[in-house]
Amino acid sequence: MKDKNVMLIGFMGTGKTTVSQKLALDHGMHEIDLDSYIVDREKMNITDIFAEMGEEGFRDIETDCLKDVVDRTGNIVSCGGGSVLRDENVELMKKNGVIVLLTATPETVFERVKDDNTRPLLNGNMNIEFITELMRKREDRYKEVADVVVDTDGKSIQEIADEISQQVGL
């Protein structure tokens, strides 16, 4: 697996970052959080990038950063929730990577993200109805690009990490 990457995708609040960190620890691999990579590179937080450059501007930066990240292998990469919307990004993810989709119900997502204001798409829309609608718009896409799907509802971080390790063969 050291010659590949594990790319975690899924809706905001499905636990991608936390699970990536756990997987990296368990397997002595390196963890890369694409959003953090973007913030470090741009020296700006996600909210400010959206405010100054709009969602398309953010998506361009996201694609650029993904290109950097997939040049290396042996990483667990936590990808932002909207990163699979562009075909180009999915091709990049598949280049050296296995794509793992994490899922959760809108209610679980809401509980995990409700006190966090760092996601511009949810600011002013922090309710189960909005989350349900955006998730519904994206869910076919997530499923279509995923190699492996792991549901996270009611599971501990360790259980999710173990399920991924087993399915991917880490």
* Residue 35 near ligand S3P by CB under 6 A: yes
Q: Which member of 15, 23, 77, 80 binds ligand S3P (CB under 6 A)?
A: 80
Q: Is 67 helix (H, G, I), strand (E, B) or coil?
A: helix
Minimum CB separation of residue 4 from ligand S3P in Å reads 21
Which segment (66-74, 113-121, 148-156, 162-170) binds ligand S3P by CB under 6 A?
113-121
Count interface residues toward ligand S3P (CB under 6 A): 10
* Residue 15 near ligand S3P by CB under 6 A: no
Q: If you search the block for the tokens 């949810």, which residue do you land on? A: 122
Neighbours of 129 (CB within 10 A): 10
Residue 129 contacts residue 117 (beta carbons within 8 Å): no
- Structural element, H or E, at residue 6: strand 5-9
* Residue 81 near ligand S3P by CB under 6 A: yes
Neighbours of 43 (CB within 10 A): 7
Q: Which member of 46, 70, 76, 104 binds ligand S3P (CB under 6 A)?
A: 46
Which segment (75-83, 98-106, 140-148, 162-170) binds ligand S3P by CB under 6 A?
75-83
Sheet of 148-151: strand order equals: 30-33, 75-78, 5-9, 97-103, 148-151
Q: Which residues are bridge partners to 103 per DSSP?
A: 151
* Residue 120 near ligand S3P by CB under 6 A: yes
Residues lying near ligand S3P in the complex (CB under 6 A): 12, 16, 35, 46, 80-82, 119-121
